[in-house]
Structure 1
Amino acid sequence: MKSKWFTLLSIMVLFSLLAACGSGGTANTGNTGSAGESPGNGTAEAPSGGEGVTTVQFWHSLGGKNGEYMDALIQRFNESHEDIEVVGTFQGSYDETVTKLQQAIASGTGPDVSMLERAYVQMFADAEVLEDLAPYLEQSGISADDFTPGLMGHSYFNDKLVSLPLNRSTPILHVNKTLLDELGLSVPTTWEEMKEVANALVVKEGNEFKRYGVSMPYDTWYPIAMISQAGGSFFNEDNTSIGFADNGAGEKVFSYLKDLQSTGALYYPPAQDSGNIVNSMFVEGKVGMIFQSTGSIGGLASTVDFDYVTAFLPKDEVYANPTGGANVTMLSSSKNKDAAWEFIRWMEMEEEGGLEFILQSGYLPFTKQMVESEQMQELWAKEPNRKVAYDQLEFAVDTNKDVAWPEIMHEFFSAIEAIMYDSKDIPSTLDTFKKETERILAQ
C-alpha cells in the first residue's frame, strides 16, 4: 500500500505541474476551484485558542469570492463553539491541494479535515488515509438519505463512507435567449436541435466569424457528459478499458463536435484560460450558447445585458451529466476526530453552516433540508436559472471513477487536443487513447 501511495504521489506531482490553472484546463471539472476564482487570503481569521480549546486544521481550495464565503462560514462556526477553533487554510487549486495533502500525509503533518475534488477521493480512500464517517453519522442521528442523491457518487469506497458533498456543481447549458428569440428559435433539448440552433446563430463576414453558435471550455467534463448522453460510459464495467469504444459513442461525440466546428456553429477555445474566454464571448454576444459550470451563473447573471436562461444539457439518446466540485473528508490520522466531526456535522447540517455558503456561492444544495428550506425556495423563485442544475441531478452520472483517473485524464486531454485542435483522425486517436488507458489500468 505504501509503495502504491508514493507511486501515486509521484504521478500527482507530475500531473500538477502539467495541469492548466485558472479557468481553463481542468478548472471547470472542479480541479481548480470554481471558474474565475483567484487566490484568497490564505488563512481564515480565527479566535486565539484558549485553555481547553481544540484546534481543527481545515484545508480547502476556494479563493476569490468563494474563499471569502468559506472564511465567513469558519468564522460563524468559531463564534458558536467556545471549545473548538477551526483554522481554515487555502492551499491553492484542487490539484495543488491534492499534492500538498499527499506530501503532508507522508510526513505526518496532515490536517484534520480537508476538501477533496470528488474525482480524487477514491485515490485517498484506497490509500486508507480517510476516516469512515458512517459511525459519526449514526451517532449524530444523520442518515445518508438526508443528502442529495445525485451528489453521493464519490462518497462510498471500499464499503466505507469517506466523504460528504460540499461545494458541488454540474455542467449546464447557458443561453442568450434574446438572440434565439430574435431568430425565432427555441432552446435546444436534443443534439439535433442544438445543431440546428447553433448553425442558425452563426454570423460570418468574409472569412471571419463574427458570432458562433455554441462553445465550451477546454475540459474533459463536457465530452464525458456527451459520451454518456450517447449511451456510452467512460470506463467499462470492470474498469479494464474505456467504455465508449464498442458502441461508437466516442466517435459519435467527436464527429458531432468537429462537424459543428467546421461550420462555425462551435467555437472551441484555446486551452489556456478557456473558461474566461468562453464566458467573455457569451457576455459580449459573440456566441449564443455555452456549456459551462453552474458556478458561472452568478457572474454571468450580474454581467449580461440580455435575457439569460439556463437549461439541461441537450440529450442524444438520454439526458446525462457528470457532477463536479469537491467533497469534505476527515483524515484518519487526525488526533481531534470528535472536534473535526463537529465541524463537518455543523457545516453539513446546520442552517447557519453550509446553507448560507450555498446561497452565497451558487453551488448545489447538498442536503434535502437545504433544498426544502425557505431561503432556497425563495432564491429559486427569484432566480430560476439556479434551480435548473438541481433538477438536472436526476440525470447525474459518474462514469470516470477509478483510482487511476488523474493519469488517464491527462491522456484524455491529449486525445481531445489531437482531435479538436489538430483535426487528427478520430478513430485512430481514440484507439491510441484506449490502449494507453488499458496500459495504465493494468498497472
Structure 2
Amino acid sequence: MGKKFKFTWLFMILLGILALAACTNSDEGSSTEPVQKSDEDVEKSEEGKTVISFWHAMSGSGQTALDSLVADFNASQDDYEVKAEFQGSYEESLTKLRSVGGTADAPAITQVFEVGTKYMIESGFIEPMQKFIDEDNYDLSQLEENILNYYSLDGELYSMPFNSSTPVMLYNKDAFKEAGLDPENPPKTFQEVIDAAAKLKTDEMKGFSMLTYGWFFEQLVATQGGLYVNEENGRAGDATEAVFNGEEGQRVFEFLNTMNKAGTFGNFGTNWDDIRAAFQSGKVAMYMDSSAGVRGIIDNAPFEVGAAYIPYADEVDRKGVVIGGASLWMSKGIAEIEQKAAWEFMKYLTTPEVQAKWHLDTGYFAINPSAYEEDIVKKAWEEMPQLKVTVEQLQSTEPSIATQGALISVFPESRQQIVTALENLYQGMDPKEALDAAAEGTNRAIDIANKTK
C-alpha cells in the first residue's frame, strides 16, 4: 500500500465504535441532517480566493509530491486556494474527522484509506461523488474502471480515487541467474513460486517472503476469484460472516506453510521497511510489495530488479488484483462554494498531465489511463519497464465481485485477525486452524457491528 499501517488494538476498537455509531440517530430514530454552511462564512485569501482545507495522510516523498500538485492547482486559477494539511496516519486522520464530520468545521476534502470506505458511506459525513459527476456531466469513462469499481456501490461513485496501488511480486534477477532460473520468466503460480524458492535458497538468502499483513492475503484470495465476506463481498448488503477461510484462503495458507516448513520462506515481520531492506541486502530473492514501492526499490537495490504479477493457485485461472491505497471524500455540511472548490480541485487531479506527474513522482497508478500516453511516462517506462508491469496487471484484471474488493466496517480489525493467523502459522499452527480462528474473530466483530448499527 505504499506506507506503514499501525493497526493497534486501541484504534481497532475505536474504529469499531465509529462503525457502530456511524448511522446512529436520536432516541426517536430521526436522522440528523447537517446544517449547510453559508457561502458568506467561508474563508477567503488575501487575493479573494475561496480557501478550503484538504486533510491527508501522505508523508515523506508522497507529501512532497502532493504539496507540489496543490501549489500547481492554486497557481492555475484565480478562484480557489487549497490548503493541504497533514493529519498523521490514515487511522489518526479518520479519528480526527469523526469529531468534526458533518459540521461546518469539517475539511472540504479528506483522504481515507480504502478499508474505511464502508464506514465513510454510512457515516453521514459525506456527499457522494456521483452528485457532482451528474451535475457537471463529468465523463467518468476517462478514468480507470478497475480503480473506480472499488469505490462504487450500486452504480454510484462515493469518492474520487487518488493514490491507488496494487501488490506486485519483485524478484532479484541476479539471484535468478545464479540459481539457473530464467530472469525473464518469473514464476506465476503458487507451485512455481515454491519450486523457484527452493532453488533460490542459500545459507544467506531465503527464496520468498510476504509481509505479515492482511492486504496481501486478501489479494491472493481475490486473484483466485475468492470472496472475503458473504453478501457478495458486502456489496449486496451488510456482510454477516467471513468466507475467506474457504478453499481459496486455505490454498494461500498452505502455500505459505509449505515454504515455511521447507525453510525457503523468510519471515521479516510486519514492517514494510524491514522486508524491503531484506530484499535489497540479499536476504530474500522474491517478495510481494506495493506497486507504489517499486520505483524506490529499483533506485536503491544493488542488483537488477524484476517485477511480476502476484502468484495464483495452480487450480484456478488468474483473476487479477484489488485496488488499494486511498481516495478523496467530499464533506457534507460545508458551504456550496467550498464544495465547488473541492470538486474543481478533484477534477484537476484527474487530468492526464497531473496524473502522469503523480505516477512518476510516487509510483501510484494514474487513475486516468491517458496519463500513460504522456511523453514523460513513456520515457520513464523505457528506462524502468517494471513500472509498466504493475499497470498491465491492473488493466488485465477481470472486473468481478472478487476483484472489486470487500466492504466491511470492521476491516482493520479483520486484518489484524489475519496478521495473528499468519504469525500462528509461522509458529507451527495447522493452516486451517489458524485461518478458521481469524474468520471466527472477524465474525464476532461483524456481528457486534451489525447488531448495534
TM-score when normalising by structure 1: 0.83
Instruction: Give the drift of 1:237.
Output: 3.6
Aligned to 1:361: 362
From 259, 278, 282, the counterpart of 2:279: 282
Q: 1:350 to 1:192 in 2, by over 3 A?
A: closer
Q: Which region of structure 1 is more displaced relative to structure 2, 84-93 or 137-146?
A: 137-146
Structure 2 residue aligned with 1:341: 343
> Any residues of structure 2 matched to 1:157-236 within 5 Å, and which?
157=153, 160-186=156-182, 187-204=186-203, 210-236=204-230
The amino acid that maps onto 1:387 is K
- Secondary structure class of the residue paired with 1:435: helix
Following the alignment from structure 1 to structure 2, what is the Cα–Cα distance between the partners of residues 411 and 235? 14
1:262 is aligned with what amino acid?
K
CA distance in 1 between counterparts of 2:242 and 2:282 reads: 37
Question: Counterpart in 1 of 2:330?
Answer: 330
Seen in structure 2, the aligned counterparts of structure 1 residues 296 and 121 have a Cα distance that, compared at 3 Å, is same
Correspondence 1:247-266 to 2 at 5 A: 248-266=247-265
Alignment of 1:20-419 (within 5 A): 49-50=45-46, 52-105=48-101, 109-157=105-153, 160-186=156-182, 187-204=186-203, 210-238=204-232, 239-246=239-246, 248-271=247-270, 274-316=271-313, 317-319=316-318, 320-335=320-335, 336-349=338-351, 351=353, 353-393=354-394, 394-395=396-397, 397-419=403-425
Give the aligned partner of residue 3 of structure 2. none
Q: How many angstroms apart in 1 are the aligned matches of 2:357 and 2:224?
A: 37
1:160 shift after superposition: 3.3
Q: Deviations over 1:182-224 (max 9, x none)?
A: 22213111111111111111113xxxxx110011212111111
Aligned partner of residue 109 in structure 1, secondary structure: coil
- 1:16–1:99: 8 Å Cα contact kept in structure 2? no
Q: Distance in 1 between matches of 2:86 and 2:307?
A: 31
CA distance in 2, matches of 1:12, 1:161: 31
- The question of whether the paired residues in 2 share the 8 Å contact of 1:59 and 1:90 is answered with yes
Closer, same or farther: CA 400–311 of 1 in aligned 2, 3 Å: same
Amino acid at match of 1:429: A
Kept in 1, the 8 Å contact 2:356–2:372? The answer is no
Kindly indicate whether the alpha-carbon contact (under 8 Å) linking 2:128 and 2:157 is maintained by their aligned counterparts in 1.
yes
| Equivalent pair of 1:125/1:157 in contact (CA under 8 Å) | no
Displacement of 1:431 after TM fit? 2.4
Per the alignment, do residues 91 and 158 of structure 1 end up closer, same or farther by CA in structure 2, a change over 3 Å counting?
A: farther
Q: Distance in 2 between matches of 1:223 and 1:230?
A: 11
Counterpart amino acid of 2:325?
G
Distance in 2 of aligned mates of 1:250 and 1:60: 33
Question: Can you give the 5+ residue segments of structure 1 that lack an aligned partner in the other structure?
Answer: 1-10, 19-47, 205-209
Q: Which amino acid aligns with 1:430?
A: L
Task: State how far apart, in whole Å, the 2-side matches of 1:215 and 1:329 are.
Answer: 35
In structure 2, C-alpha distance between the alignment counterparts of 1:136 and 1:12, rounded to whole Å = 37
**What is the CA distance between 1:118 and its match in structure 2?**
1.5
Quote the Cα distance in structure 2 between the aligned partners of 1:89 and 1:58: 6
Q: 2-side partners of 1:141 and 1:114: how far apart? A: 23
Q: Cα offset for 1:140?
A: 3.9
Structure 2 Cα separation of the partners of residues 280 and 156 of structure 1: 36
Letter in 1 for 2:369: K
Structure 1 contact 61–115 (Cα < 8 Å) conserved: yes
State the aligned residue count: 396
SS in 2 for 1:49: coil
For the residues of structure 2 that align with 1:84 and 1:216, how far apart are their CA atoms? 44
**1:69-104 CA deviation, whole Å, 9 max, x = no partner?**
111111111111222111000111111111111122
Runs of 4 or more consecutive aligned structure 1 residues displaced over 4 Å after TM superposition: none
Query: What is the deviation of 1:106?
Result: 6.5
Mapped to 1, the partners of 2:333 and 2:277 lie a distance apart of 44
| 1:17 Cα deviation after fit | 8.2
Matched position secondary structure for 2:350:
helix
Deviations 1:142-174 (A, max 9, x none): 222111111112322365322111111111011
- 1:122 and 1:285 map into 2 onto residues whose CA distance is 40
Task: Check if 1:434 corresponds to 2:439.
Answer: yes
In structure 1, the partner of 2:40 is none
Deviations 1:303-354 (A, max 9, x none): 1121211011122123232321111111122211111111111111262x33
Q: Give the distance between the partners of 2:290 and 2:150, measured in 1 at CA.
A: 18
Quick one: structure 1 residues 328 and 106, their matched pair in 2 at CA, closer, same or farther if it must change by over 3 Å?
A: closer
Aligned 8 A contact 1:211 1:285 in 2? yes
- CA deviation digits over 1:80-138, x for unaligned, max 9? 12221110001111111111111221665210011111121221111232212224224
Deviation for aligned residue 1:413: 2.5
**Equivalent in the alignment of 1:425:** 430
Q: Secondary structure at the match of 2:425?
A: helix
1:24 matched to which residue of 2? none
Task: Write the deviation string for residues 286-308 of structure 1: whole angstroms up to 9, x where unpaired.
Answer: 11111111121121111112121
| Structure 1: distance between partners of 2:12 and 2:432 | 26
